[in-house]
Structure 1
Amino acid sequence: MVVKSIAMDTEQIETDLRTRLVELEARLEKIKQDATQGHSSDSAEQAQERENDEVLDQLGNETRLSIRRIQSALLRIAEGSYGVCESCGEEIQPGRLAIMPETTLCVKCAD
């Protein structure tokens, strides 16, 4: 009975991760579009646009990292190793996975 509920939770987590992945991929595409827009001929506006480009670059990097973490979690689900701490090999608590479904570490190893 417990195995069945864990499997059902994993199914829901997988669904949630896939939904989040689609959202992040759409966000990354929007960031790419925004980053490729031309710059103004006004030097003062160019300075502001360059600052905006730096922010977009950072957002893009963070989004790519989140995408990689989610893809890794989905791979662990497919392989059957999801929910196992990659440091100590112990089970990651379901509450932690509910909050951070892409985590690879239990609370003890994350500290």
Structure 2
Amino acid sequence: MTSQEKKKIKEKIESDIATLLKQIKTLEEKAEPITPDCSLGRLTRLEAMGEQHVNNKILDESRLRLTRLKNALLRIDKPMFGICIECEEEIGFGRLSIRPESVRCVECANAQS
């Protein structure tokens, strides 16, 4: 991987981290518990609880991705960055451009699923 490609990936990581931090803040507000004394109808209350569950799931996934992106940022200058942890082949620049936190190439990621 060239230094120019690493620079683009680093910019992508930093951009994704900033976006996720904003998203997490918004989701934390939406995922606050619904108080029992809230004046909602029964169905509306159930809908709000369902929406809260979805928001909590997205929040968990966003936090996990944020951790992975921060780890990728720490690894980016190391020689093993961009090398698959399974087959030890280079992870394609296209994959890292989309998911810079990837630690497996497409083939190994598909085999693991």
State TM-score, norm by structure 1.
Answer: 0.82
Q: How far, CA to CA, are the matches of 2:15 and 2:8 in structure 1?
A: 11
State TM-score, norm by structure 2.
Answer: 0.81
Q: Identity rate of aligned residues, in percent?
A: 28
Tell me the equivalent position of 1:31: 27
Tell me the equivalent position of 1:61: 60
Larger helix percent = 1
Computed over aligned residues only, the root mean square deviation of the Cα atoms, in angstroms, reads 1.9
Deviation string 1:8-63 (CA, Å, 9 cap, x unpaired) is 11011101111110110110011111222654323422212111110111110121
Which deviates more, 75-84 or 35-44?
Answer: 35-44
Contact 2:12 2:97 in 1 (8 A): no
Q: How far, CA to CA, are the matches of 1:42 and 1:107 in structure 2?
A: 47
Cα gap change, 1:99/1:36 in structure 2, threshold over 3 Å: closer, same or farther? closer
Q: How far, CA to CA, are the matches of 2:65 and 2:83 in structure 1?
A: 19
Q: Which has the higher contact order (CA 8 A, sep 6+)?
A: 2
Q: How far, CA to CA, are the matches of 1:35 and 1:28 in structure 2?
A: 10
Q: Following TM superposition, where does structure 1 have runs of at least 4 consecutive aligned residues deviating by more than 6 angstroms? A: none
2:39 corresponds to which of 38, 41, 44:
41
Give the 3-state SS of the residue equivalent to 1:87 in structure 2: coil
Asked if 1:83 is matched to 2:82, the reply is yes
Consecutive unaligned residues of structure 2, counting only runs of 5 or more, are none
Counting matched residue pairs gives: 107
Give the 3-state SS of the residue equivalent to 1:79 in structure 2: coil
